[in-house]
A and B are shown apart, each in its own frame.
Chain A
Amino acid sequence: MERMSGARSLMVALEKEGANIVFGLPGGANLPIYDELYKSNIRHILVRHEQSASHMADGFGRVSRRPGVCFATSGPGATNIVTGIATAQADSAPMIAVTGQVPSKMIGRDAFQESDIIGITNPIVKYAFQPMNAAEIPEVVKKAFYISSTGRPGPVLIDVPKDVQQNEAEMVFPSEVKIRGYHPWVDPDVREIERAIDMLFTSERPIILAGGGVIISGAFAELQSIAELLMIPVVTTFKGKGSFPENHPLSLGPIGMHGHAEANKMMVEADCVLACGSRFSDRSVGTFEEFERHLKIIHMDVDPAEIGKNQTTNVAVVGDVRASLRIMVKMLIQKAIKRGGDNPWLKHVNETREYFRQNLKLHPHPLGAAKILRKLREVLPSQSIVTTEVGQHQMWASLFFDVIHPGTFFSSTGLGTMGWGFPAAIGAKAAKPDVPVLDIAGEGSFNMTENSLAVSVLDNLPVIVFLMNNFSLGMVAQWQRTFYDRRMIGIDLKNCPDYVKVAEAYGAQGIRAETIEDVGKAVQTALKSNVTTVIDIPMDPEEDVLPFVAPGTSLKDMILPS
């Protein structure tokens, strides 16, 4: 037991949890915390807007698979991180957000910079704490990390009134905590896994759908073993992109609204799916009723509430996806269950993939999305971490940028938060400083958090912004072209600002790439120089993302490029 202030105990508890970096911005209500941060060994990354702090913590958390930490003050500081919290929740990313709050006696009196952040964030956090006594803080922090990082990960908020930061108490730092209403670990039911194997083995056209849960639990090797033992083709959700090497002969790539043509086609034709860590989002499966028709569904998920939420399942395996898959691999090996690749389904799958690879029409512009992204893949080392912004470029990345090394691709897939990719890339760089980090960006999305260039430059967290610039809010433009008879409104960004100059203004490197060769060279220059670089690539504003499954329709209604 040791006597110290609430703020000091917060810092000690964070250090005990292994947090060595915090993204944030100080203000009146969290100054006692910052004063202790000053005295601690934890590195502080000063952001220019709190939203970016939350996205950096999110990126850090997804890459390191332990909670990233962000700090914000009360009131507007706290409300500025709401988008980041919602993003982390939608994508099950571990994160701890610590907000300052007005002194406890002022709560509820509409004090200056007071906001009810507990109430505001209730539906978008995994849990929230508001310690009212300094002595609670060590246990609160321990519980916050436990909740955030176990089971289905998610954001946890700790809202600390200023007086609670300042007050001193005898502090006890628990080495473990128990929460009676929280059971993150369920042992997978072995009988259900046996049933799953039977179902997969007896079906004629099986497919594996790998979701984000495979990446979160790091089940890459297990997934690959099962696919190879049973010779089952693998599609992924967009969130699950890169859970399976996309150059693998059994890989078909992501399904969904902008999925690969071959992936959507084979998903529709399959008679049995092994869905691993996927929540069957509407963006992945199209209409729920149509997707589950004629399809036997085996659903593995750590979150029991996902079973039966969007799809009716035939076999449900609740538990950590990696643990479940590991049991499955063991059973397959024990029972010597194997399937050869010489079957009509796999032959058909291979032919379909080959057909679309040969015949899918690509945009003719010299800087078409496919050409740009395939060039990027050529020059970017395979273990590099790639994030994306949100919009057309993101869906092009899904289509044309193959992820080779599992678990190196991250995107705001659930909430679709524009402005996420760049700060998340900075967070990723903080988690893995030795690996190149690149944000596949669109200018509309990059605009939203581009002031993080200052952070990237000054805090020596160099990342590459690969800016696919089509001078417009391209995805909205595409919908207006497709569904609103070309009544174009609110999409024209008019080539403003000049991103090379923006980069230079922040002390970063700016390169304009006007040919495919330029694109390759620019990425190589950025990799070599290891400084923050914005590569501005002017594209044709009229290029659409195709294939396209229109909202409210099913995967079989996929629109192909004509």
Chain B
Amino acid sequence: MWSIISVLVENKPGVLFKITNLFRSRNFNIDSISVGVTENPEFSKMTITTSADEKQLNQIIKQLDKLIDTVEVKLLDERKSIYRELVLMKIKVSKPSDIMEITDLANAFKCNVHDVRKSSMVIEITATPDRIDAFEDLIKGYGILEIARTGICALERGYGNES
């Protein structure tokens, strides 16, 4: 089972290490992790995706909550959240017509084309993991030279009573 956990933590040195070390020492799995400072500079928000069964997920959340530097731990409901990943892909250009074809595909997926050379292009896609997979599947015939992904970041829809 794939889950998204949103963790609000104290924004100070060593906290990311504590979180990842917790996953390592308890034999939990991190599929992706993204970290950034929040609207309040005292906090950072981490979005962690993990594959775990219900029992293990329950433990992951409780053990995260137990850490003193975590302020809030939330299991996000996919249907009630917005989650995205940003991926940069460097794609091989073998013949001039590739550029047009790849650009068309990129447009269809609302990607941005950032760099076009004779033999390569860099495309940015920001989407849900399944859309990224679909795009990757279509594009891989041209040859993917390099890839860099941010990991998923997520927010719940609505605020307070609205959510």
Contact = CB atoms under 8 A, between A and B. Distances in A.
Whether A associates with B in a native complex is: yes
Contact of A305 (B10, B14, B65): B65
A181 B18 contact: no
B21 interface: yes
B68 A304 contact: no
B21 A118 contact: no
Contacts of A304: 62, 65-66
Interface string A404-430: 000000000000000000000000000
A181 B68 contact: yes
Interface in A256-310: 303-305, 307-309
Contacts of B21: 122-123
Given A305-B62, A308-B55, A119 B17 contact: yes
Contacts of A123: 21-22, 25
Nearest to A183: B65
B66 A305 contact: yes
Nearest to A123: B25
A489 interface: no
Interface residues of B, number: 20
Contacts of B98: none
A309 B59 contact: yes
Interface size class of A (residues with CB under 8 A): 10 to 19
A147 B68 contact: yes
A305 B59 contact: yes
Interface in B1-54: 9-10, 14, 17-18, 21-22, 25
A181 B10 contact: yes
B64 to A, nearest CB: 9
A128 to B, nearest CB: 8
Interface string A299-334: 000011101110000000000000000000000000
A181 B73 CA distance: 10
A494 interface: no
B70 A181 contact: yes
A180 interface: yes
B58 interface: yes
Contacts of B17: 119, 122
Contacts of B82: none
B12 to A, nearest CB: 11
Interface string A108-140: 000000000011001100110000000000000
A384 B4 CA distance: 53
B62 to A, nearest CB: 4
A181 B58 CA distance: 19
A118 B14 contact: yes
Contacts of A308: 55, 58-59, 62
A179 interface: yes
Contacts of B67: 181
Q: Taking each of A123, A126, A179, A180, which has the highest tally of chain B beta carbons within 10 Å of its own beta carbon? A: A180
Contacts of A147: 68
B62 A122 contact: no
Contacts of B99: none
B150 interface: no
A182 B63 contact: no
Interface string A333-354: 0000000000000000000000
A209 B69 CA distance: 33
Contacts of A119: 17
Interface in A155-213: 179-182
A180 B55 contact: no
Nearest to B8: A181
Nearest to A119: B17
A123 B26 CA distance: 10
A303 B66 contact: yes
Contacts of A307: 62
Contacts of B58: 308
Nearest to B64: A305
Contacts of B18: 122
A305 B68 CA distance: 13
Given A308-B62, A309-B59, 13 more contacts: A122-B21, A123-B21, A123-B25, A181-B10, A181-B70, A304-B62, A304-B66, A305-B59, A305-B62, A307-B62, A308-B55, A308-B59, A309-B62
20 contacts: A118-B14, A119-B17, A122-B17, A122-B18, A122-B21, A123-B22, A123-B25, A147-B68, A180-B71, A181-B67, A181-B68, A181-B69, A304-B66, A305-B65, A307-B62, A308-B55, A308-B59, A308-B62, A309-B59, A309-B62
